[in-house]
Amino acid sequence: MTPAASNDIRHDWTRAEVQFLFDLPFMDLMFQAQQMHRRYHQPNTVQLSTLLSIKTGACPEDCAYCPQSVRFETGLAKEPLMEVRAVVEAAREAKAGGATRFCMGAAWRSPKDKDLLKVEAMVREVKSLGLETCVTLGMLKDHQAQRLADAGLDYYNHNLDTSPEYYEKIITTRTYEDRLDTLANVRAAGVKVCSGGIVGMGEEQHDRSELLRQLASLPEHPDSVPINNLVQVEGTPLNGGDKLDPLDFVRTIAVARLTMPKAAVRLSAGRTEMSDELQALCFMAGANSIFYGDKLLTTENPQNLRDRALLARLGMQIEGKVTTEVAIGDREACAVQCEHQHEQAHQQTHEHAAA
């Protein structure tokens, strides 16, 4: 790692400063982001988190991107809060696959106090497996955050989603201040904050810039910053919109790294539609965490085999699970994936010749 600079960690970023970073020539931005990444993080290492929907659908909120809203007809089946035993079994499988953090999400506007009893049990049981725990349950009151802290919760996820100016075009059922209040309650309880946003929702570049400035201006930077690329779901208001330029997504990752140097920057929703080359650029820009597993709540995520093959091709190690067994498994995964890609290429060449 390279030495840290005394002025790297800041909470006083101006709009002009963050916009300046977005406007840098792409190669200059990447170079600076990779330098910053190596000051604070082990290079060529990625942390794996797995996200499970523990209560699905029927959410009263109107978040325009969300298939779990009761306001939109997306065909998603409503499922009640899972039993603790089933959640623990899923956590065991996630750990066996290399995940070091297990995240549990419930489609609530905010949990009722009685609902927390079962969630607290989930946290305790999952933590006993040796995994870090994270939950996302909507808005939290201060005493609820403290209850989760007492149960041993490590992280609480609550995204700001977008800039304050663009926010009302995406959500009207809770305010930006509501989100900031929840983050304050979580931090006051001693739980680490996981907070990021979603890009590709029709926002402008200055909205992405302002989202990151808001996160970087918090009294303490989030410990994890998930950056989601919108997954368009039929039935939601944002379905059918223009896709974000992939290089603009990479720029968002890079600026997140520069403005919040110590945070884990996580590639979250949208990776299924990303090429291996795009994900590699994101890692170069400072991303060092991914959601690992076939599902992200209710949307698709890359198959574990594809992820392990990509990490092996890039020479990247899995944080907390760097063993000979894993290395062998990754090489085997890479061989299978590369053979599959070769077969696809051969078939495409044959079809082209036949045409």
Active site residues: 59, 63, 66, 103, 134, 194, 266
Contact status, residue 330 vs residue 306, Cβ threshold 8 Å: no
Q: 103: which DSSP letter? A: E
**In the chain, which ranges are E strands?**
45-55, 101-106, 132-136, 155-157, 192-194, 197-199, 224-229, 264-267, 289-291, 295-296, 299-300, 317-318
Helix or strand run (H / E) with residue 27: helix 26-40
Contact status, residue 179 vs residue 167, Cβ threshold 8 Å: no
Q: What SS3 class is residue 116? A: helix
Q: CA–CA separation, 298 vs 88, rounded Å?
A: 19
Q: CA–CA separation, 100 vs 151, rounded Å?
A: 18
Give every CB contact of residue 125 below 8 A, 6+ residues apart in sequence.
Answer: 84, 87, 88, 91
Contact status, residue 138 vs residue 109, Cβ threshold 8 Å: yes
Q: What SS3 class is residue 73? A: coil
Q: CA–CA separation, 133 vs 130, rounded Å?
A: 9
Q: CA–CA separation, 208 vs 214, rounded Å?
A: 10
Q: CA–CA separation, 129 vs 50, rounded Å?
A: 14
Residue 105 β-bridge partners:
53, 136
**In 44-159, which ranges are E strands?**
45-55, 101-106, 132-136, 155-157
Q: What SS3 class is residue 321? A: coil
